Structure formats: C-alpha cells, structure tokens
Amino acid sequence: MAGATHEPASASGETLPRPRSRARRSPWLAAGVLLLLVAALVIRLALVSATPGYVVTGDARDYDVHARSIAAGHGFSRTLAYGRPTAFRPPGYPYFLAGVYLLAGVDRADATRRVHAARVAQAIVGTVIVALVGLLAAQLGGAALGLVALGLAAVYVPLITVGGSVMSEPLFAVFMLGALAAAMQHRRSRHRYRYAVLAGVLGGLAILTRANALVLLLPLAIAAWDARPRLSRAALGPPAVLCVVALLVVTPWTVRNAREFHTFVPVSTQLGSALAGTYNDAARADTENPASWRALMHVPDYTSLFNAVRRTPEPVLERKLRAASFHYIGQHPGYVADVAYWNTVRTLDLAGLHRSRATAAVIGISRAWADAGVFCFWLFAVLAVAGGLTPRARRTPAFVWSVPALMFLSVVFLVVETPRYRTAIDPFIVILAAMALCALPRLRGRRDRAAPSR
C-alpha cells in the first residue's frame, strides 16, 4: 500500500525498534562517542608515558623473543625451548607483536624502543576494547546504555593497567568482544551468513590468542542459532558455518604443530603445566596463598619431570604433567573445590592487597596502580550486582552472560592472577555497572510518580 511503513525485522522474524529522531541525535551521539574514545586513548598513552621504566619479564619476555624471531622471518623462536620447536605460547599475540615491531620499524632496535612501541600498540588495543564495550552495550540496551558503558570502560582502572603491559589478554578481549558483537548483529541482520562468518573469524583468532577461548564457540553458535524452525537448514546453517570458519582459522597452526611435533597439538601445550602448578602438595599445603599456582621448578612433586625438560619433547612433557595432575586430583578430589574457592576469592581481589599487588607486579603494574585497580574493581562490582538485578539485565540473552561465566570457569580450577586473568570478565562487569547507572533515572521517576501530591 502506498505510504505504508513497516518496522525492520530481524532474521529470526522479531520486530526491531525503529530509531527515534536519528537525524537529530546521531551527530551528538557520534561526537560523544568520539570524545570518549579520544579520552580513553589519552589516558592509556598517559600511563605509558608515566611508567617509562617498564621492563618485560616472564610471559612478556617470551612474547618479545617470539615476536623478534617472527619479524626476522624465522617463525616461533626455538631458544625458549632449548633449541627445539615449541607451541607453549599460543601464536596470536606473538604474531601481532611482530607486526607491531615491523610496522614501527623497531624489530632490530633495543629493548627500550621495542617495549615502547608494544605499549603504544597496547594502548590502541585497549581503546578498541572500550569501543567494543560501548558497541555491545548499545546492542543490548540502546544508545544511552552504550554511551554510559563507553565512558565507564574508558576510566576502568584494571583495563587501563592491563593495557599498559605487554600481555596477550587485551588482544584476546578484542577478539572475544568482536566475535560476540558480530553474533549479536547477526540476530538483527537480513544477511544470514555475513556476520556469522565474521564471528567465526574473530572466534578463531581468539582461540589462537588464548587457547581456552575454544569454549566461546558454544555461546557464539547459540547466538547465531536464532531462526525458526530450529532444526531447519536455514536455522542450523549460520551456527555451523560460524564453528567451521573458527576451526579453519585455527587449522594452519594445528598443521604447523603436527609437522613440528608429529602429534596432534591443536593450539598450545600449556594445559599440563597449568594443572601441575596447582595440583601438587606444595600448593595444597600453602597457608599464605592457599591452592595457588607456582612454576614447576618450585614444585618438588615434579622435580624428576622438570629435570628432564631439556630432553623431553614438549607435547610429551605436557601429557605427562597432565596425567600426573589428574592422578593427583584422583587422590585428593576435595582439593578441586579448594582451588575453585580460593581462585574465586582471588578473582574478586579479596585475598588481601598484598596478594593483588604481587600478581599485578608480575605484569609490571606498580603498587599504587594495583591498589587503584582493586578499589575501582570493588566499586564497579557493587554497581554490577545492582545492574544484574535490573530488567534490562534480565532481558539480555543468556548466551551473553554465559561468555564471562565460561571464561571464569576456564581458569577458576587452574590459576587466577588479577587483574590479568579477569580481563575477559571485566568488560561485562562494566556493562552491568552501566545498566545500574542507567536504571537510576527510571527509579527516581517511579518514586516521583508514586509520591503523594501536596
């Protein structure tokens, strides 16, 4: 009928709301978004400038060694594995870092220049996280929620400090949030495969950056499984394509590992040491940091395996450590609950400031910044609890909240160090905090309407 209008429909057939006053609102909204993103980048670059003495150690040192080798055209460095092939570190972040070195022209420069270039890149990655938090919040609750979440993410201290270190978690958060945002967009798009493919690519990159991201394929597939009837080809196609694309992204690295090790190593050989460092007598008997992970060189139970590390192929060592850990769990099944309890305490930064400062120092965060991150997290966590009680949070699809839940479950039985291992969860804490703040005007309006007139 001439002159008739219709509301846009999602691929699943549900009606999508038509934006109101888009022409009037969009310029102001775009200006606000741009201003907050510039502020987020400035804050992160200011941290880099204020901490020129940052030195790469531990994991960061390994990333730097691999990145220099990759930039030189040699692939993963063998110096970290006693001259043999290694797949201990997932490849996503080392290859990203190598690209940064080449782009900045510091691949052959001294450590100071390399580290500065890496941290500037991390500041940009951190700003992308802020943008994706805002985008995801807007998808869940509209422009106002997106803008509030964007502002909160810009000043959320744990994300700022982790972004100032040479660690893989910020890049992983970008891929994770990007994949989830693509899956959300799929649900409102008329194109049945465009965003499913994008979510699959980003999901695969997330797995290549942090191997535990494999669990994300479940909520991403559920998000893409939105058409009706559920068992039709049209409904099953997008989630199937998403998973296949993600696995195809991972496959070249898996093939490389098969060629180097002559055995099946999907992404990384980290699981064995992650288990063994926690499931041993030294960790179980620790009264100062109960059930906390420690390096194998400090675990008497695995002295014989550690002493043979130079002559044991990496996948073989990983299997032995994994088997020994499962044997230990079989002998002490109740200890698994202890690990989960104490790692939950540590996730919430409730194990004492000394512990939070120690784990922050592992990635180069100073005592003052560590304390600021803890207090900021506690404030946002209170808001997040309130946000979780709002109607908007209850209307959010369960697959969204399953992402931080699965990320938590993927580490709580192994090892937790804050703020690093909470990076995949913190964006959702920020979104819930934004939901709480956005609910305040509504609550005030209800009280005003309910108040008796004089």
Q: How does the average pLDDT of the chain come out, rounded? A: 92
From 308, 315, 312, select the one nearest 259 (Cα to Cα).
315
How many angstroms separate the CA atoms of 329 and 246, rounded?
Answer: 32
What Rg do the C-alpha atoms of the chain give, in angstroms? 23
**Residue 334 shares a structural domain with residue 403:** yes
Q: Among 206, 234, 268, identify where a domain stops.
A: 268
Can you give the residue range of the structural domain that contains 143?
A: 34-167
**Residue 376 shares a structural domain with residue 287:** yes
- Residue 11 domain flag: no
Instruction: Please write the tens of the pLDDT for every residue from 137-170.
Output: 999 999 999 999 999 999 999 999 999 999 999 9
Which amino acid makes up residue 247? L
Q: What pLDDT is recorded for position 309?
A: 87
**Residue 278 shares a structural domain with residue 399:** yes
Q: What pLDDT is recorded for position 305?
A: 87
Question: pLDDT class for 448, splitting at 50, 70, 90?
Answer: low
Show Cβ contacts of residue 272 under 8 Å, excluding neighbours closer than 6 positions: 317, 318, 319, 320, 321, 322, 325
Question: pLDDT class for 450, splitting at 50, 70, 90?
Answer: low
- Residue 453 domain flag: no
Q: What pLDDT is recorded for position 7?
A: 38
Instruction: Please write the tens of the pLDDT for every residue from 163-194.
Output: 999 999 999 999 999 999 999 999 999 888 99
Q: Among 268, 302, 318, identify where a domain stops.
A: 268
How many angstroms separate the CA atoms of 275 and 323, rounded?
Answer: 10
**Residue 123 shares a structural domain with residue 157:** yes
**Residue 354 shares a structural domain with residue 433:** yes
**Residue 195 shares a structural domain with residue 317:** no
**Residue 333 shares a structural domain with residue 426:** yes
Q: What pLDDT is recorded for position 443?
A: 59
Question: How many H helices and E strands in the chain?
Answer: 20, 0
Helix axes 22-50, 111-141, angle to 10 degrees: 150
The pTM (predicted TM-score) of the whole model is: 0.92
**Residue 308 shares a structural domain with residue 376:** yes
Question: pLDDT class for 451, splitting at 50, 70, 90?
Answer: low
Q: What pLDDT is recorded for position 148?
A: 97
Q: Among 128, 145, 167, identify where a domain stops.
A: 167
| DSSP string for 25-65 | HHHHHHHHHHHHHHHHHHHHHHHHHH-TT----THHHHHHH
- Residue 371 domain flag: yes
Q: What pLDDT is recorded for position 168?
A: 98
Outline where DSSP puts E strands in 114-268: none
Question: pLDDT class for 15, splitting at 50, 70, 90?
Answer: very low
**Residue 197 shares a structural domain with residue 158:** no
How many angstroms separate the CA atoms of 37 and 14, rounded?
Answer: 32
From 151, 145, 201, select the one nearest 178 (Cα to Cα).
201
Q: What pLDDT is recorded for position 24?
A: 55
Number of structural domains found in the chain: 3
Q: What pLDDT is recorded for position 144?
A: 94
Residue 6 has pLDDT above 60, yes or no: no
- Residue 131 domain flag: yes
- Residue 105 domain flag: yes
Instruction: Please write the tens of the pLDDT for every residue from 104-115.
Output: 999 999 999 999
- Residue 3 domain flag: no
**Token couple for 318:** 């990983």
**Residue 77 shares a structural domain with residue 212:** no
- Residue 12 domain flag: no
- Residue 19 domain flag: no
CA atoms within 13 Å, Cβ hemisphere of 352: 6
**Residue 140 shares a structural domain with residue 286:** no
**Residue 241 shares a structural domain with residue 263:** yes
